[in-house]
């Protein structure tokens, strides 16, 4: 184990999510069985509801002493899976898919999402979906990223020169995946970058992404002009060897695009983009990421690391959205996509940033047109700039819109965006916020099975099964806590109201009473009501006839 003998990581959060149990579906693989995780939410009416589960074995451990040795890492399950022979020199999911081979990774994600493995193979072969799975990340439970599948979310973690430790970052990874992070990126730029990543990798059940230029910059003591292709290349190989599943490479920031950002309100906000712009200008040379791109393809192909072609010129403000700098870079990413795929390397494309709502969909249409529908992976986008401290919300608005339009993975933004390094609480807020955006998009796209959870929760809500409402939610702990803030007593868990309206004004209770009355009086259907109306009319006319059939009834003389 290449991590240090001292153990900087004491513990991480374990145990099932409230009201649910981790389970595994057994499906046949090429050689042996595959165990596909899911989470079973038990309902108080005896039913249950199963949901996708990203949390790895951590939620399976019911007690803290069941936690594996973090220094050893998670079981290396995927080492036992079948690995097909290389096709045209490439041992990648893309190469195998194109050759008609359904890998164990494809079977696994198909079972995980309720799709046919052949459909998975087709999407991967077309480059419309990727399965980031470095052969050196055997702890991985593979996931598929593509617009035909459930929208995925990424949580960024990692230290900075200002704050955080290895222990905190490992816990952030576990915490992010507990709440539904489909992938994590280790964006560390502070101390012990290699060792931090090693601890994260060995304990990560989800695909891990990085931006290798950050560590390369650290190696040259933070001076971008001192970067070289060789330093970058060696850093990429070092990270491939550690098992990183996808890498952001800002190879579309070309020398001639740098001036395009000169008059922007916020210049270049991408770290990788600004680093490469600084290098290109200082050397007055084309970016080494661009000129050496084919060598990079050969390295990534060797490990089946997926490219995440970076948006180094993404807009960092509403004013800069959809400008020439941004779209010039996107055209270059389209060109690089074709090259990477010709090497059999899987590709996704990173997207903005800060974009007002009316300019969002154009981003997806252009990306699809220019990049052969490679999965789009966007940072938000933030739909307005005016709410620092609430940028998980400004960005989730954009994220929901861009996901509905076809974005495959949403990179979360936390409440700390533009203000500081997110802590564990911010990570959870970011993840839950992005699960909302992703799920809202799945619903709008008619993703099979997406709506059943809404329906189950709504039924529980209408039937005042409070515990089921909590447990079916994205964050059962907070839902319960909020309810119990005003009505903590046990009987309130079946009460037909909450403290919002109180017992007399609870509309759902009144509505249920209306329904019960209707049933009791046979007034459920329109026909029942028409029949009742007709009967009432008949009774009235009978009454009229009985009274002598007179239209004018003389008033009593005394009251005249």
Ligand X SMILES: Cc1ncc(COP(=O)(O)O)c(N)n1
- 159 annotated binding-site participant: no
- List helix spans (H) across 10-90: none
Q: Give the Cα separation of 373 and 380 in Å (integer).
A: 19
Of 374, 412, 18, give the one whose Cα is nearest residue 181. Answer: 412
Instruction: Decide the pairing of beta strands 246-249 and 208-210.
Output: parallel
Q: Give the Cα separation of 89 and 251 in Å (integer).
A: 24
Of 316, 324, 214, give the one whose Cα is nearest residue 271. Answer: 214
**Candidate ranges 155-163, 224-232, 301-309, 485-493; the one touching ligand 5AD (CB under 6 A):** 155-163
CB atoms within 10 A of CB 514: 11
User: Looking only at residues 397 through 436 of this chain, which bind ligand MET when binding is defined by CB under 6 A?
Assistant: 417-418
If one asks whether residue 156 binds ligand 5AD (CB under 6 A), the answer comes out as yes
State the binding string over 407-426 for ligand X (x if CB under 6 A, else -). ----x---------------
If one asks whether residue 271 binds ligand X (CB under 6 A), the answer comes out as yes
Report the largest interatomic distance among the alpha carbons of the chain, rounded to a whole angstrom: 114
Least separation, in Å, of the C-beta of 218 and ligand X? 13
Which of Zn ion, ligand 5AD, ligand X, none does 158 bind, CB closer than 5 to 8 A by kind? ligand 5AD
CB atoms within 10 A of CB 365: 11
Q: How many residues bind Zn ion (CB under 5 A)?
A: 1
Least separation, in Å, of the C-beta of 507 and ligand MET? 42
Which of ligand X, ligand 5AD, ligand MET, none does 344 bind, CB closer than 5 to 8 A by kind? none
Among 160, 452, 486, 507, binds ligand 5AD (CB under 6 A): 160
State the binding string over 316-335 for Zn ion (x if CB under 5 A, else -). x-------------------
- 350 annotated binding-site participant: yes
Least separation, in Å, of the C-beta of 271 and ligand MET? 4
Among 78, 98, 271, 439, binds ligand MET (CB under 6 A): 271
- 257 annotated binding-site participant: no
Which of ligand 5AD, Zn ion, ligand X, none does 310 bind, CB closer than 5 to 8 A by kind? ligand X
Among 127, 212, 252, 272, binds ligand X (CB under 6 A): 272
If one asks whether residue 273 binds ligand X (CB under 6 A), the answer comes out as yes
Instruction: Decide the pairing of beta strands 33-42 and 48-52.
Output: antiparallel
CB atoms within 10 A of CB 198: 19
Q: Nearer Cβ to ligand 5AD, position 113 or 186?
A: 186
Structure tokens at 408: 């495959």
Least separation, in Å, of the C-beta of 266 and ligand 5AD? 12
- 468 annotated binding-site participant: no
Least separation, in Å, of the C-beta of 413 and ligand 5AD? 6
Least separation, in Å, of the C-beta of 269 and Zn ion? 6
If one asks whether residue 163 binds ligand 5AD (CB under 6 A), the answer comes out as no
Contacts by 159-165, CB closer than 8 A, 24 or more apart: 159/188, 159/189, 159/190, 159/191, 159/192, 159/196, 159/421, 160/188, 160/189, 160/190, 160/421, 161/189, 161/190, 161/191, 162/190, 162/421, 163/190, 163/421, 164/190, 164/421, 165/8
If one asks whether residue 247 binds ligand X (CB under 6 A), the answer comes out as no
- Distances in Å between the Cα of 198 and the Cα atoms of 70, 72, 144, 167, 224 are 11, 11, 23, 12, 25
If one asks whether residue 417 binds ligand 5AD (CB under 6 A), the answer comes out as yes
What is the 3-state secondary structure of 370-386? HCCCCCEEEECCECCCC
Mapped onto helix, strand or coil, the DSSP state of residue 81 is: coil
Least separation, in Å, of the C-beta of 176 and Zn ion? 20
Task: Give 347's strand partners.
Answer: 307
Contact 154, 207 (CB under 8 A): no
Q: How many residues bind ligand 5AD (CB under 6 A)?
A: 10
Structure tokens at 164: 């955080």
Instruction: Tell which phi-psi region holds residue 262, choosing left (phi > 0), alpha (psi between -120 and 50) or beta.
Output: alpha
State the binding string over 196-235 for ligand X (x if CB under 6 A, else -). ---------------x------------------------
Q: How many residues bind ligand X (CB under 6 A)?
A: 16
Q: Is the peptide bond before 353 cis (omega within 30 degrees of 0)?
A: yes
User: Looking only at residues 335 through 374 of this chain, which bind ligand MET when binding is defined by CB under 6 A?
Assistant: 353-354
Mapped onto helix, strand or coil, the DSSP state of residue 347 is: strand
- 271 annotated binding-site participant: yes
- Contacts of residue 519, Cβ cutoff 8 Å, sequence gap at least 6: none
Q: Which residues bind ligand 5AD (CB under 6 A)?
A: 156-158, 160, 187, 379, 413, 417, 421-422
Annotated binding site for substrate: 156, 185, 214, 250, 270-272, 311-314, 350, 377
Annotated binding site: 156, 185, 214, 250, 270-272, 311-314, 350, 354, 377, 418, 498, 501, 506
Q: Which residues bind ligand MET (CB under 6 A)?
A: 269, 271, 314, 316, 353-354, 379, 417-418
Q: Which residues bind ligand X (CB under 6 A)?
A: 156, 185, 211, 248, 270-273, 310-312, 350, 377-379, 411
Annotated binding site for [4Fe-4S] cluster: 498, 501, 506
């Amino acid at each position: 184990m290449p991590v240090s003998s001292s153990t900087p990581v004491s513990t991480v959060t374990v145990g099932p999510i409230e009201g649910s149990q981790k389970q595994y579906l057994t499906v046949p693989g090429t050689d042996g069985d595959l165990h596909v995780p899911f989470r079973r939410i038990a309902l108080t009416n005896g039913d249950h509801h199963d949901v996708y589960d990203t949390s790895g074995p951590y939620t399976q451990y019911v007690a803290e002493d069941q936690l594996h040795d973090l220094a050893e890492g998670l079981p290396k399950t995927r080492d036992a899976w079948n690995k097909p022979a290389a096709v045209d020199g490439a041992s990648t999911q893309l190469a195998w898919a194109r050759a008609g081979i359904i890998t164990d990774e494809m079977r696994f994600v198909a079972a995980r999402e309720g799709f046919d493995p052949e459909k998975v193979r087709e999407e991967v072969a077309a480059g419309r979906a990727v399965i980031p799975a470095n052969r050196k990340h055997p702890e991985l439970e593979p996931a598929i990223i593509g617009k035909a599948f459930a929208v995925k979310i990424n949580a960024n973690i990692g230290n900075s020169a200002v704050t955080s430790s290895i222990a905190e970052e490992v816990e952030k990874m576990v915490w992010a995946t507990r709440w539904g992070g489909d992938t994590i990126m280790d964006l560390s730029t502070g101390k012990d970058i290699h060792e931090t990543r090693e601890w994260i990798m060995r304990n990560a059940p989800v695909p891990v992404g990085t931006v290798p230029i950050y560590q390369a910059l650290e190696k040259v003591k933070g001076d971008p002009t001192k970067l070289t292709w060789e330093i970058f290349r060696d850093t990429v190989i070092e990270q491939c060897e550690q098992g990183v599943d996808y890498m952001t490479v800002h190879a579309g920031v070309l020398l001639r695009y740098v001036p395009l950002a000169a008059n922007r309100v916020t210049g270049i906000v991408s770290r990788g983009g600004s680093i490469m712009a600084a290098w290109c200008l200082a050397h007055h040379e084309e970016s080494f990421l661009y000129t050496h791109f084919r060598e990079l393809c050969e390295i990534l192909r060797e490990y089946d690391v997926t490219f995440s072609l970076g948006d180094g010129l993404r807009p960092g403000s509403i004013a800069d959205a959809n400008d020439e700098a941004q779209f010039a870079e996107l055209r270059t990413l389209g060109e690089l996509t074709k090259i990477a795929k010709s090497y059999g390397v899987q590709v996704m494309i990173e997207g903005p940033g800060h974009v007002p709502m009316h300019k969002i969909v154009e981003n997806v249409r252009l990306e699809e047109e220019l990049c052969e529908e490679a999965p789009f992976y966007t940072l938000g986008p933030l739909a307005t700039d005016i709410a620092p401290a609430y940028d998980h919300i400004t960005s989730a608005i954009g994220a929901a819109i861009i996901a509905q339009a076809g974005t495959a993975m949403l990179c979360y933004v936390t409440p700390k965006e533009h203000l500081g390094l997110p802590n564990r609480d911010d990570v959870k807020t970011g993840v839950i916020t992005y699960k909302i955006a992703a799920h809202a998009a799945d619903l709008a796209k008619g993703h099979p099975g997406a709506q059943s959870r809404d329906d189950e929760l709504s039924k529980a809500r209408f039937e005042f099964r409070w515990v089921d409402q909590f447990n079916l939610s994205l964050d059962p702990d907070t839902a319960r806590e909020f309810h119990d803030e005003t009505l903590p007593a046990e009987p309130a868990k079946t009460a037909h109201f909450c403290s919002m309206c109180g017992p007399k004004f609870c509309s759902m209770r009144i509505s249920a009473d209306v329904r019960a009355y209707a049933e009791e009086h046979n007034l459920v259907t329109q026909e029942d009501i028409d029949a009742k109306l007709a009967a009432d009319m008949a009774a009235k006319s009978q009454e009229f006839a009985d009274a002598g059939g007179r239209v004018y009834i003389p008033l009593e003389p005394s009251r005249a």
